[in-house]
């Protein structure tokens, strides 16, 4: 809890965007990627989730695969000398690496049939603009060793790298680097660690868990409340955790989606954009309503989870996508958060 409070403090300290006059440099570091000041931007306003994209070119099978799963979020620094042309080789090397990790210290032949099969492929349509790298999907499946012939492959772990509208960032990075700043993993941690280590070793990148601050969670709550959903939508649920108690105490605050939407409609004024102020007002209204009924100041607690019909997000950096047409919109926001963590 303390960590989160400090993180919030840090965020506000970073607030002001800074520009650098160009001196001769005493240090060598990246002359790139500083368009938004060094500490990433603190958004005064964000664009609305883009209108649902036409789903013609998106592979419905892949999209369905990504929905309704819990994904653990990571930020990844740009990968050095990663190339889409070698995905098949990467799969080969990665599967040998996994085998080697599992039987420490013994020689492993590259390319032979191993316990765990690795597939690395592109998800071509999962991007926000043409500048974005195509997303990369890594899947591990195990072969049942008993019957080798009719090998029933079982998916045991998957993870994907993506970049949705990270233009400002990726444009400023030199050619040798590939920007896929957001990584999402589903499956046992031990595989995340092996796959992540391999990518770190091979492409000199750095993985970090991507936690979502309460501030950003409230952004999500507001943004997603306003989105149109076809079917009868599920409730907007906010979970708060009360700090400094001997026993953990969580408060769940569920709001009927239509009520939440109506409230948002009265708050939201700026066309095409959402401002920090609107988000604050929206949350304050919810807080005061709650206070009227329960005499509890939610503003003194910590927002830990937001679930809406669009997606649900936990402060520890776990997300579940629920609506295919808003997938890329949510990923855009997450890409932004990932970039601000690595910049």
Partner 1 sequence: MQRRQSSKTQKQPLQVHYKNQSDLSAWRKGGRTDPEKIVQNNQSPNDQKNGSKQDSFEQALSYFEKVQDHVSLKKNNVLQKHLTTVESIALQRGLPPEGFDVLLNVALSGKLADTVNTRLLKSLVPASVIPETSVVSSVSWLCVGKCSGNIQLLFLRWLITMFDFIDHKDQLRALYGFFFSFLQDEKMCPYVCHLLYLLTRRESVKPFRIRRLLDLQAKMGMQSHLQALLSLYKLFCPELVTITLPGKMKTYFKNSDGPWKAAINAVRQRNQKNSPVSQPLFLGTARPQSRKRKWNAQLIIPASSTNKNNLKEDKERNRVDLYGINESFPVEQLQTFPQLLQNICHLEFPSQMGSVLTNPLLLHYMNCIKDESIYLRLYYWMGQTLQEECTWCAADNNQYEEEFKDFLETVYKTECFLQEGFSSCEEFLYKSLPLWDGLCCRSQILRLVSWIPLSSFSEMKSHLYDPLAQLFFTSSLYFKCSVLESLKQLLQNWLNWHIINLDSESDSQFHSLNTTLSGLVNVVAELIHFVGWISTVALRLEHNPTFLLYFILDFYETVCDMYLRYNMPLLIMPPAGVFYPALLSMDSVSLNQLCYIMYRYRTNLVAAKENELTKKKILQFKFSSQTYQEYNQYIIAMVGCLWTSSAFQKDVHPQGLHMDDELLKKTTVQEFKTSFNIVYHPAMMGYAVLFLQQAWPDDTTFNFSLIKGKKWNWYLEYLYAQGLKGLKVFIESSINRVSQASRSKAGNVQV
The rounded distance, in Å, linking the Cα atoms of 163 and 134 is 8
CB of 296 to partner 1, least distance (A): 25
Interface with partner 1, residue 23, by CB under 8 A:
yes
Contact 8, 213 (CB under 8 A): yes
Interface with partner 1, residue 107, by CB under 8 A:
yes
Would you call 104 helix, strand, or coil by DSSP?
coil
* Pair of tokens at residue 233: 């939508």
Count of residues binding partner 1 (CB under 8 A)? 59
Interface with partner 1, residue 54, by CB under 8 A:
no
Interface with partner 1, residue 78, by CB under 8 A:
yes
Interface with partner 1, residue 256, by CB under 8 A:
no
Residues of this chain, 172-201, that bind partner 1 according to CB under 8 A: 173-174, 176-177, 189, 192-193, 196-197, 200-201
The rounded distance, in Å, linking the Cα atoms of 229 and 340 is 29
Helix 257-267 / helix 214-225 crossing angle, nearest 10 deg? 100
Interface with partner 1, residue 115, by CB under 8 A:
yes
CB of 99 to partner 1, least distance (A): 10
Got the DSSP string for 243-279?
SS-SS--EEEEEE-HHHHHHHHHHH--STTEEEHHHH
Among 69, 86, 154, 291, contact with partner 1 (rule: CB under 8 A): 86
The rounded distance, in Å, linking the Cα atoms of 321 and 307 is 10
The rounded distance, in Å, linking the Cα atoms of 316 and 164 is 21
Interface with partner 1, residue 15, by CB under 8 A:
no
The residues of the shown chain that bind partner 1, judged by CB under 8 A, are: 1-3, 6-7, 9-10, 13-14, 16, 18, 20-32, 38-39, 77-78, 80-81, 86, 89, 93, 103, 106-107, 109-110, 113, 115, 145, 173-174, 176-177, 189, 192-193, 196-197, 200-202, 204-208, 342
């Amino acid at each position: 809890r303390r960590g989160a409070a400090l993180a919030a403090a840090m965020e506000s300290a970073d607030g002001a965007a800074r520009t650098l006059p160009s001196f001769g440099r005493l240090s060598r570091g990246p002359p790139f990627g500083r368009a938004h000041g060094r500490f990433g931007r603190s958004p005064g306003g964000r664009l609305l989730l883009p209108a649902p994209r036409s789903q013609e070119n998106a592979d419905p099978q892949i999209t369905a695969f990504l929905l309704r799963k819990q994904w653990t979020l990571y930020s990844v620094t740009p990968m050095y000398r990663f190339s889409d042309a070698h995905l098949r080789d990467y799969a080969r090397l990665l599967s040998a690496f996994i085998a080697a990790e599992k039987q420490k210290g013994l020689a492993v032949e590259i390319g032979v049939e191993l316990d765990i099969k690795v597939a690395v492929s592109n998800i071509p349509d999962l991007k926000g603009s043409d500048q974005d790298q195509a997303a990369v999907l890594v899947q591990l499946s195990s072969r049942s060793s008993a019957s080798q012939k009719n090998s029933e492959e079982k998916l045991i772990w998957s993870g994907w790298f993506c970049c949705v509208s990270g233009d400002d960032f990726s444009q400023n990075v030199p050619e040798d680097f590939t920007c896929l700043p957001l990584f999402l993993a589903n499956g046992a941690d031990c595989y995340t660690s092996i796959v992540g280590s391999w990518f770190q070793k091979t492409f000199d990148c750095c993985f970090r868990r991507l936690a979502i601050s309460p501030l950003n969670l409230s952004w999500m709550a507001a943004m997603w409340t306003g989105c149109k959903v076809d079917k009868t939508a599920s409730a907007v649920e906010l979970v708060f955790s009360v700090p400094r108690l001997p026993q953990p105490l969580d408060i769940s605050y569920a709001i009927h989606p239509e009520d939440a939407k109506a409230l948002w409609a009265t708050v939201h004024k700026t066309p095409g954009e959402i401002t920090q102020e609107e988000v604050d007002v929206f949350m304050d209204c919810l807080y005061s309503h709650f206070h009227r009924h329960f005499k509890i100041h939610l503003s003194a607690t910590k927002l830990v989870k937001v679930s809406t019909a669009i997606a649900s997000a936990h402060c520890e950096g776990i997300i579940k996508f629920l609506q295919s047409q808003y997938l890329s919109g949510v990923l855009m926001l997450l890409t932004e958060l990932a970039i601000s963590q690595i910049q």
